[in-house]
Structure 1
Amino acid sequence: MNSFISKTLIPSISLRSSTRLTLTPNSLRHHKLHLPRLMSSQSSQRLFQLKLDPLTGNSEWVVIQDNDELPECYKEPLLAATSYLDMLNDSCRNKAFRLAIDKTVTKPCHVLDIGAGTGLLSMMAARAMGLNGTVTACESYLPMAKLMRKVLHRNGLGKAINLINKRSDELEVGIDIPSQADVLVSEILDSELLGEGLIPTLQYAYDKLLVENPLTVPYRAVTYGQLVESSYLWKLHVLYGTEAKASDGICLVPTGLDSILHVKSQQYPMHCDAIRNEIKLLSEPFKIFEFDFWKRPESHRETKVRIKAIDDGNIHAIVSWWVLQLDSEGTVFYSTAPRWINSLTNIGNRNWCDHWKQCVWFFRGKGMPVSVGKEVLLEATHTETSVLYNLNVQVTQTDIRQHDYKIGDFQLLLSPERIATYGDGEWRLSMLTAVRNALHGRVNTLCVVVDDSIFLTLLAVNLSKTSHVVSLFPGLREKGAQYLEKVVKANGFSMDRVEVPEKRKASLTLHDTHGRTVDMLIGEPYYYANEGMLPWQNLRFWRDRTLLDPILSEDALIMPCKGRLKACAMSLPDLWSSCRCLGEVEGFDHSIVNTTLGACGELPAPKEGPCLPFSIWQCGEIKELSERFTILEFDFSKSITSCHGKAEVQFSEHGMCHGFVLWVDWVMDAENSVVVSTGPDHRYWKQGVKLLSKPVAVGINGSKSTSEFGSTVVEALFEPASSELIIKNAFS
């Protein structure tokens, strides 16, 4: 097991310790991971960086030796994309661990810290023992191990703590560590609790690395859940119930093929407080599993919970969270519960943070109807890395849908946001209008769908009975082709009018199109591998359009015809607090990590915080302080090129400005009549956030206060060669 992925670079696994997953270039495809720009795996004394270019979809492995510093071009983007900074700014988390360690480590002993990160827990343990015992810090992720070594030296603990850059399940007593450890301290928890490999990590530790009956921090965790009804959550995983109302005639999930297109059965992290007004609670909170860290855990368990409904409704999902008991006496706790739960407990509300959220599990179908007092049976199962749920209910005859077509084992799994987009009536109407207008007056059209849009493929064929559509599906590939083969009959046409190239190509030639030039080149744009990334990274559409330029007809229609980089100044106090520069964290100087972890505020010139993707509606307290404005436009009628733009920002509200939120509006037609926005009003896309070097008090234009600004200038530079969009503002 030599491969290793850093925390939150791959959100669905987000590993920091010794999880037993072998992730190689081949297995990455097997696990269907959506990659950001950089990821890594560590083997022996080498670090393998997998650099992904979002504009080309190409990736390459870059090998860096252990005794080399990470090159600047890799180091900062790599670690800035992790959630270490957010964790270290979580004062409630840090205080809870400090209190528990001080209560647990009361005499000199051997303490083992697994997944040590910057070494905070290791330093806490060393301090608690008065530097008399032994502390072994295990950190598998090489860039973080390098950073931890700097933190330890900054705090004068470089010799007091033994840092080992290995996976914990590669450690051997007598070789790597002098003896079995008396105390285990670790924080290898994700929003689901188990996703970072907690169970296999503890199993190996108990088998090989710990004394009999060791002490542990944390001591125990309990997972809880609550049954809810929510039309918003329902739309994130059900399509056939929403697209029936669409006027475009397209069936992405035809009758009889209900399971062909859906989300993966897993728990999805989400800030549920943001949708509290759209959630109807159908049960009281209930306990699901208890995990005792003070003993060797089991790999697999099942439980059944009888739950009484407290209101009438349809059960669409489970909202789940966990409560961490950090000390054996039960006096130190931390909870990831939503605020409507924490307000009823004595644990207290934690500060907003993004590294731990609640989780949502979707129940397939229309939802299970319940009435007040009715009992339902919930079946829960946990594996080594996840928790699965099922409602044990007998389906009524009216809920059974006829299955006219066989799909075998094939299913196309998309993200909840993509399912919701395909079910959004306004979005579908925009696409219908744009494609219908584009096809007006055209016959025998050769249309190329350059991105991963299954919807546009079906729509183009449906609206023109004489068109031929070539779908490149750069991310979906054969999965997209298999999906089309299953649904074409239900949509009233045959596969002889649709083509998906068998081999992945950077571009098409006239040979591929049988000598025909392309009349229409269209996209949403949407790329399967770019989900969760910065919105302008879908400018890959522009690059793909440029590569196809040699086979475009003179009057070829490009859709969208342009993109607009939009922005808005915002007050984002919660997000700012989670990303701000670090000073002392529980008495230990962490200022040395700020630049590497992409912090905002008080950075030495000319350093700036990175622009990172966030779902603004989930970022806690937010307030728009300016009108929304356009910084620059991308003209897709021309080949891709660098471009620059700037705009003066007029502030319309008083407040503390923490940064700018940026997104792309896709202008679908030359008349500007159809515009698809990825801005903060739309929950199904992430926006880019550029936080300021320090918050600035702003006011309505004309304010005479010297501490307030009436306006400022924001500019942007897009460079295709580097796939980067550089944002500058007058506050910097």
Structure 2
Amino acid sequence: MLKLKNQFQILLHVNSVNMSTFKQILNPITGRSEWEPQCENYDYHQEIARAAFADMLHDTERNQKYYKGLQLAIDKVHRQGFKANVLDIGTGTGILSMMAVRCGADSVTACEAFRPMADCAEKIIEKNGMKGMINVIKKRSTEILVGEGGDMSRRANILVTEVFDTELIGEGAISIFNHAHKELLEKNCIVVPDSATMYAQVVECPFAWSWNMPKVLANLDGEILLTTPADIQQCQGSAALHDIQLNQFPLKDVKFLTDPIAVQHFDWSGKTVLKLENYSSTKFTAKHSGSLQVVFMWWDLKMDTENQVLLSCAPFWAHPDYEQLKTANRKRIPNQNVIPWRDHWMQALYYLPTSPRIQESGEMYLNFHHDEYSLWFTVSKSEQKPLSLRQPMCNCGFHNAYSRTRAGQLNDNLRNKKYLRVLEEEIKKDSVVLVLSDGSLLGLAASKLCAKVYCLESSRYSSKVLQGYVDANELKNVKIINCLSEIDNLDEITCVFGEPSFLSALVPWDNFYFGTLLSQIQSKLRSDVTIIPRYATIHATAVEFLDLHKIRSPLGECEGFDLAVFDEFVEKSANLADSIVEPQPLWEYPCRALSKSQEILRIDFNKFFETKKTITEHQLKASGSCNGVALWVDWHLTGELSSKTTVTSGPVIEVEVDKYINWDIHSRQGVHLLPHPQLVKSNRTMTCETSFLPRDGDIHFKFHIQ
């Protein structure tokens, strides 16, 4: 994390670092592969900076329930007349090991395979006065040797570990537990946590389904312009999870067809050997009629052998402590935000391979499958064990070529109508259109309005999908090209169109690659060529995030342990490896506006290569804790400044000071997170200095709060 002094002032790039190596990167704005100077151990620092160690340690409920589970386990072993010998697998900062010491463990062994983190843990342990009380082993748990001369002199009788992810088993938990019980633990050991239960809830949700399956594209009169190719309609899609903050999901678009179903129990205690592959089938009765489209998934942990301590990752409507938490956290608005927030363990969506209809009170089976690292769901009319546990795989290319966010954009009717309205007004029957965007169905749809369409596709995956649309819809006047050099052999271009959207883009302004491409061919275009969009603007607003800032905030003290060493460790790496603006889907992370939105940079695509620099002042009209700045791009399709011809990647309604912002759900925004929040009162000023070097593909931001 970046250190702040009396005034908050940060540059996008840290230029004072001693650079000694070069790393090849793709510049998304220029499209060039470039050798960028990096510090010698850049990958190492990046891994530290991007790890979720701090995020987990800001999870107070997780910390306290692990603490309680350890206390119960150690007390139980002592009551049985034995010494409590604790093994901590994946110790990270060492906090669980230090908890074990404070709970009275007789010996503690901490295992951490990531050497820099293990070194940091040793320093933290020493700082907290526990040097010599915890043995840190710097290797994988599966490499630990037990016995005389080994890493551990004897097996442990208590295991504490947190080797879980959003999918529960994605970090290899099954193999880790099986090996530990076989090689590292006594037969009647206690494990913290003792077990886990996975829950699933089947829903009909066309909104979520739009992230999985493209719909037909119709014009403003409802006439179908593009149908979806048969191979995409029949594809089983991707079994990969879609991790998401379900507490922020628009439930008005959800029809719950089942109650939550406990689909699988994972016993970590060692009483049974965990299967690397497994299958279960649960019969359910539909609460309503509808299409079985999407499965919501989450899990909980039973932290002790008596199931007294439960840590639940359920969304608010299914959380066992929701009413109690709502009473205790009345200041958290709206109510779904009272649930303990965590970004390391979210909930997940799984898209069913087929979406059969079911009638109210109808019965079907929800089938749960998992291999060593992942899981997936199917539905069936009967309880039939599958012949193979292989995951459903995409065979149409669409699900591999485009992100969930991009699929949602392609299906966004309001967004599409804005583009189609402008296309209908700007292009003629004899127009020749060049499309500079990846996977633009709108570009294909323009073929119904003009004489010829050329689509530039640099990705062979996206090109294949688009060609499938061309063939399925018999678009005789569309040609897909793979490089701009082919433009010399094309008909004279009268219109250049882009959404713009490119597969390489992370933050919204990465799509300024449209301007780079346009500039490369501008000399070959007519002076009266129509450019859509005409220009773009970057906007910013100061915000108070409810929770998101925790992923970059220093810890200081956590559960009574001094973790300043860890803060310095992460801060140093973040200074070397992280940009100060990162992409985030802000609809999942509530934030309150402290200032109005303000334009901070304007890009005219007819004059793209002009270097630009602006300084803007933002009046903070609301008091609060300023812990971030949100940034986004508006695409202005014509010269007219109108909401009817502007497509935003930011707020979908005007930003109101002191109100929560409603973000476009199909875009990622740019976010700068302050590691040290600034307590501000109204009428303070934030200055934003923005510079754009288009030939280098660099955008620099500098923020200053008086």
Which TM-score applies when normalising by structure 1?
0.76
In the other structure, the counterpart of 1:215 is 190
The one of 467, 476, 501 aligned to 1:485: 467
Residue identity matched to 1:223: M
Task: Letter of the 2:312 partner, please give it.
Answer: S
Structure 1 residues 365 and 180: CA distance shift in structure 2, 3 A: same
Alignment gaps of 5+ in structure 1: 1-36, 38-46, 395-406, 502-506, 699-706
- Equivalent position of 2:349 in the other structure: 360
Q: Which residue of 1 aligns with 2:212?
A: 237
1:334 is aligned to 2:311? yes
Q: Distance in 1 between matches of 2:307 and 2:119?
A: 35
Partner letter of residue 229 of structure 1?
A: E
Secondary structure of 1:223's partner?
strand
User: Which amino acid counterpart does residue 670 of structure 2 have in structure 1?
Assistant: G
Q: What's the offset of the Cα at 1:692?
A: 4.0
Given the alignment of the two structures, is residue 581 of structure 1 paired with residue 522 of structure 2, yes or no?
no
2: CA distance between counterparts of 1:157 and 1:544? 59
* Alignment partner of 2:592 out of 606, 623, 640: 623
Conservation of the 8 A alpha-carbon contact between 2:172 and 2:373: yes
- 2:454 corresponds in structure 1 to 469
Q: Determine if contact 1:598/1:609 at 8 Å carries over to the other structure.
A: no
Change (3 A) 1:204 1:719: farther
What is the CA–CA distance in structure 1 between the aligned matches of 2:312 and 2:153, rounded to whole Å?
34
Residue matched to 1:91: 60
Q: Distance in 1 between matches of 2:699 and 2:127?
A: 34
Secondary structure, aligned partner of 1:381: strand
Separation of aligned partners in 1, 2:225 and 2:571: 44
Match 2:377 to one of 383, 389, 392: 389
The letter for the 1-side match of 2:128 is: N
Residues in 1 aligned to 2:380 and 2:89: alpha-carbon distance in whole angstroms = 38
Q: Is the 8 A contact 2:619 2:685 kept in 1?
A: yes
* Amino acid of the structure 2 residue aligned with 1:685: S
Q: Deviations over 1:691-722 (max 9, x none)?
A: 34655566xxxxxxxx4325543333345688
Q: Which moved more, 1:182-191 or 1:197-206?
A: 197-206
SS at match of 1:528: coil
SS of 2:466 mapped into structure 1? helix
Which one of 424, 440, 452 corresponds to residue 412 of structure 2?
Answer: 424
Q: Which residue of 2 aligns with 1:675?
A: 646
Q: Which one-letter code corresponds to 2:461 in the other structure?
A: K
Query: Is this contact kept in 1: 2:257–2:286, CA < 8 A?
Result: yes
Say whether 1:379 aligns with 2:356. no
After superposition, the C-alpha distances for 1:491-521 in whole angstroms (9 at most, x for unaligned) are: 2324x841343xxxxx6436x7448776654
For residues 50 and 123 of structure 1, do their structure 2 counterparts lie closer, same or farther at Cα, with a shift above 3 Å needed? farther
How do 1:209-288 and structure 2 match up within 5 A?
209-240=184-215, 247=222, 249-251=224-226, 253-254=228-229, 257-259=232-234, 263-274=237-248, 275-288=250-263
Rounded to whole Å, the distance in 2 between the matches of 1:509 and 1:630 is 35
Deviations 1:118-145 (A, max 9, x none): 2222332344456x524132233x5544
Q: 1:365 to 1:115 in 2, by over 3 A?
A: same
Query: Structure 1 residue 683: deviation in Å?
Result: 0.4
What is the deviation of 1:432? Answer: 2.2
Query: Relative contact order (C-alpha < 8 Å, sep 6+): which is higher?
Result: 2
Matched letter for residue 418 of structure 2: S
Given residue 174 of structure 2, which amino acid in structure 1 is its aligned partner?
A: I
The verdict on how the C-alpha distance between 1:517 and 1:527 changes in structure 2, with shifts beyond 3 A counting, is same
C-alpha distance 248-640 of structure 1, shift in aligned 2 (>3 A): farther
Q: CA deviation at 1:93?
A: 0.5
- Partners of 1:569 and 1:659 within 8 A in 2: yes
The 3-state SS of whatever aligns with 1:483 is helix
What letter corresponds to residue 539 of structure 1 in structure 2? F
Deviation of 1:269 after TM superposition, in Å, equals: 1.7
Farther-moved stretch of structure 1 (286-295 vs 716-725):
716-725
- Cα distance 1:123–1:51, how it changes in 2: closer, same or farther (>3 A)? farther
Query: Does the residue aligned with 1:85 lie in a helix, a strand or coil?
Result: helix
Which of 112, 117, 123 is the aligned partner of 1:138?
112
Q: Kindly provide the amino acid, as one letter, of the partner of residue 586 in structure 1.
A: E
Aligned residue for 2:97, secondary structure, equals helix
- RMSD over aligned CA atoms reads 4.0
Describe the shift of the 1:446–1:708 C-alpha distance in structure 2 as closer, same or farther (beyond 3 A): closer
* Pick aligned residue for 2:581 from 611, 616, 633: 611
Please, which runs of 5 or more residues in structure 2 have no aligned partner? 1-12, 14-20, 326-337, 383-392, 653-663
Equivalent residue runs for 1:481-520 within 5 Å: 481-494=463-476, 497-501=478-482, 508-509=484-485, 513-514=488-489, 520=495
| Alpha carbons of structure 1 residues 257 and 177: separation in structure 2 relative to 1, 3 Å | same
Whether 1:708 aligns to 2:682 is yes
8 A contact 2:439–2:466 mirrored in 1: no
CA contact (8 A) 1:247 1:429 kept: no
Contact 2:217 2:227 in 1 (8 A): no
* Separation in 1, partners of 2:666, 2:462: 21
- 2:627 aligns to what? 658
Call closer, same or farther: CA 1:718–1:595 in 2, change over 3 Å.
farther
Change (3 A) 1:343 1:111: closer
Change (3 A) 1:598 1:243: farther
Query: Are residue 633 (structure 1) and residue 602 (structure 2) matched?
Result: yes
AA aligned to 1:370 is: Q
1:44 aligns to what? Answer: none
Q: TM-score, normalised by structure 2?
A: 0.79
Counterpart of 1:559? 532
Partner of 1:24: none
State the 1:564 CA deviation.
0.8
Q: Would you say how many aligned residue pairs link Structure 1 and Structure 2?
A: 638
Contact 1:122 1:136 in 2 (8 A): yes
Indicate whether 1:690 and 2:647 are aligned. Answer: no
Q: After the TM superposition, which of the residue ranges 215-224 and 272-281 deviates more from structure 2?
A: 272-281
CA 49–420 in structure 1, closer or farther in 2 if over 3 Å, else same? same
Pick from 532, 542, 553: which aligns with 1:569?
A: 542
Contact 2:120-2:566 within 8 A present in 1 as well: yes
